[in-house]
Structures are given as structure tokens and as C-alpha cells.
Amino acid sequence: MRVFEEMWAHLTDAASWRGDGGMLALLWQQLLLTGTALALATALGLPLALWLGHLGRGGFVAINVSAVGRAVPTFALLAILVAAEWPGSATLGPYGRAGAATLIALMLFALPPIITGAYVAVTEVPGDVKEAARGMGMTGRQRFWRVELPLALPLVVAGLRLALVQVWATATIAALVAGPGLGRVITDGFYRNDYGQGLAGALVVAAGALVLEIAGAGVQRGAARRAQLAPAST
């Protein structure tokens, strides 16, 4: 019971949140890591997955590449990247020590749900809807932008939502290579046997994941409503 009292004391102490090493600054650093890694993964994986889904080809490659990505532990990948000559452990601006290695590891971790979600979303658009659009004289590009993508959007957003929450929670590994983020609160607390501090950091990470999950669910519901209107608009 005492450890929870120490956790509460750490959370309610204004000094815990202030300064460069305070939880507010570390919270911003983790958001920056998460947002950047997700943006890189989206820019790399989403267009490819949507294109393959539109063509109806490459499913074996897309799904199996995603499966391999899930099988490789992110921390193991980070350790390999840090030990390599490049990217190594060099500091990268606001991303801190081993910033490039951390971003690459998190980006690769985000790719599987994005690729799988987008590919499956486009391929599962009903064939009769595609055929109707083709019968209306739409080109392949028009079918994709006006029919397939609007209908696939809820599942695409679901993949992005999953990737966002996963990357946010996993970004704490940056602390294991002396990088930024809320992982520092957790690792420092347990290293100094200050379990209250470690639990406080873990609670903030969990609360952040919950907020992101709720926000992502709201965006997905909006995408679902838009998908329901898509057939009528064509």
C-alpha cells in the first residue's frame, strides 16, 4: 500500500512536472517520438498498401512482411541499431541520444498494423460496388478515390489507431538507451528503488494511451459515418 502512496505523492508534487527533466517535458518528448515515428511509417507504408489493395495483388508479400515485423522485438531491433555504425547512438536534435535508431525502430514497429489494415480495407470493398463504379465509366483512379478509399477508410483508420497506441506505449524503450520520453521516469525510479516514481511514470503512460485510444476511436467513428454516405454520393 505504501508504494501507491509514494506514487500518488510523486504525481501530486508540482516539482515532478517542472523543469527539463519533469514529466511535462518528458511527456512532450514522448509525443514527439510517437508522432514522428507514426508519420514516417504512414508515409512509407500507407501508399504502398493502398496501391496493392487497389490492384488486388501483393497480398502475400504485404501480410507476410507485416508478420515478420511483428515477430522482431522492438527492443532487440533498437539494440542492434544502436550498436551499428549507423545510426548508432548519436544525438538527433529533440529526439535525444540514439534518436535516429529509436525512430527507425518505432517506425518499423508501426508498419505492420498500418500495412495490414490498409491492404485488407481496400481488398474488402464489395466487388459489386467496384463493378457498379466501373459500369458508370469511372477510371481506375476515380474508382479508388471516389469509391474504394471512402469505403475502406474506417479500417485504414483502425490500423493507424492501433499503430498510434502501440508506438506510444513502446516509445518508453528510448530510456533504455538514455533517450528521451516518459520511460526515463520509469527506469530512473526502479533503478533507485523508488517504485512510487516508477509506477507514477507507468500510470502517466497508461493514461496517455487511453486518451489516444479514445481520440482514435472518435476519428474512426467519423470515418465510418463518412463511409456510409459514400455509396450514395457516387
Determine the straight-line distance between the first and last CA of the chain, rounded to whole angstroms: 61
Q: Does residue 230 carry a pLDDT above 70?
A: no
pLDDT at 127: 87
As a dihedral over the C-alpha atoms of residue 135, residue 138, residue 140, residue 146, rounded to 10 degrees, the angle is -110
The total of structural domains in the chain comes to: 1
187: how many CB neighbours lie within 10 A of its CB?
18
Crossing angle of helices 149-170 and 195-233, in 10° steps, is: 180
Cell of 157: 483508420
Residue numbers of the domain that contains 228: 2-11+20-233
C-alpha–C-alpha distance, residues 162 and 71, integer Å = 17
In the numeric block, the cell 545510426 is attached to 87
Mean pLDDT of 172-186: 91
Q: What is the pLDDT of residues 114-162, one digit of tens each?
A: 999 999 999 999 888 888 888 888 888 899 999 999 999 999 999 999 9
Q: Does residue 71 carry a pLDDT above 90?
A: no
